[in-house]
Amino acid sequence: MANKPHAALLASPGMGHLIPAIELAKRLHTHHDFLVTVFVVTTDSSTARSLILKSTSNLPSLNIVIFPPVDVSTELGPNPPLEARMNFTMIRSLPLLHSSILSMNPRPIVLIVDIFGTLAFPMAREFRMLTYVLFTCNAWFAAATIYLPVIDKEMEDRHVNHREPLRIPGCKPVPFEDTLEPFLRRGGWMYEGFLKAAQDIISADGILVNTWQDLEPTTVKALMDKDILGGITKGPVYFVGPLVRSIDSKANHKDEVLRWLDDQPMESVIYVSFGSGGTLSAAQITELAWGLELSEQRFVWVVRPPKEEDASGSFFDVVKGREECMDYLPEGFARRNHGVGWVVPMWAPQAEILGHPSVGGFVTHCGWNSTLESVVHGVAMVAWPLYAEQKMNACMLSAELEVAVRMKGPEGAAVPREEIGKVVRRVMREKEGKTMRGRARELMLSAEKSLSQLGASHQSLCRMTRHCLNHQMNGKVC
């Protein structure tokens, strides 16, 4: 046991951060002989604990430490921006992380964090641990982040002020309409925080990205090439995806929605969900409900109470509002769609739904975790981005990978029901949708190949393991 490398992972709040961290931990433990401890920062410990138990029930030796929920309302006041709340939550968790690592024997030799966890790097270096960043998103976003500290300011000005595409060496440019929000708020705390995180990331001993070479070959090449983006980072970049939750084979016997799906024709159901944090306005919920009716397609819809002008309104409150969900649907909606649709309040077993043979389409906010779950099950998508880097994801899915149709509506207003119905029919009934499902199945096969023992993602983790073992053998751990 003492000779095994010990990795510590720090997962910031949100299922999109927790799931990839848990899946990476499982892979390091089962395929690369690591001791692994996962530290989970959350404001919703019951939901996190439930997911972790389901995901790791067959791995009792995986050490999971769930920190007590953090309340940052005294520092930030009511309704703070998502990024500010994430940042302060991580800061408040650092003393718990420090004391936990200090008490461990053997001490971890590497700390792996997501983009919100780089604040822990000084502590890791105090303990002489290697520092790694796990990008829980695609390589294109990783490239934009890594390039930020060295970007040509004139180019950035042209992007922000004149709406020209943002050019990233070796990569597809980022259209202005799909750019990251921090670029549009230069001089503010959001931009400065993003820039500081980017500077920390390029100083890390290694970078892990939740993608694989065949999914983003051009961007992967740019990040590995020392003459392009690879020359910016201190350590190597490893492509280790897809890191997605596997299907619970026992879930079909437990969940009503899965039993309902058993009775539906193959690829006849469209699944509608905006992730663990995504929310719509009351007007948009109404339009979506009518749009699903107009589409005349079978559906499963995860519904949450509306939040006005806050697309990430459920990010920290995943379980709140379950009882009120149905109150926001149009009168008679449930009665009219009985037998055609299934409405699920707040949360559904997404991996199991997307893996069900009756599901042929997915209306998604384009969070990277949801995107990968759709791809690895060969499901076509309706791309409906809400916040963070989701517009970049939607652009890649529709314009480059051609596995999604993008939902578009009037600026600053709800997408109308007629557009929703039309787009859903395109994905579910027209030749375009069939072509997208075929393309998604090709990507599904390439993902499976990448994760195999001789695949590129598996070999990337082998190289990372050797890096950690060399660090341990050189006696650099406190």
By CB atoms closer than 10 A (0-12, 13-18, 19+), residue 68 is exposed
- What's the DSSP call for residue 136? S
17 is catalytic: yes
CA distances from 253 to 57, 248, 258, 259, 352 (A): 17, 10, 8, 7, 11
| Residues ≥6 apart with Cβ < 8 Å to 123 | 94, 97, 98, 101, 111
365 is catalytic: no
Which residue bears the tokens 């539906």? 264
| Residues ≥6 apart with Cβ < 8 Å to 281 | 306, 307, 308, 309, 414
Pick the closest to residue 16 from 192, 274, 360 (CA basis): 274
Which residues are 343's β-sheet partners? 301
CB 360 within 8 A of CB 268: yes
Beta-carbon count within 10 A of 462 CB: 14
- The two three-digit tokens of residue 288, written as one number: 């979506």
3-state secondary structure of 338: strand
Residue length, the chain? 478
Catalytic choice (17, 159, 365, 467): 17
Catalytic choice (114, 178, 200, 205): 114
Q: Which amino acid is present at 14?
A: G
CA–CA separation, 417 vs 286, rounded Å? Answer: 8
CA–CA separation, 280 vs 115, rounded Å? Answer: 26
Which residue bears the tokens 């993602």? 457
Residue 197: phi, psi to the nearest 5? -60, -40
CB 118 within 8 A of CB 90: no
Which residues are 272's β-sheet partners? 301, 363
Q: Which amino acid is present at 308?
A: E
Give the active site residues. Answer: 17, 114
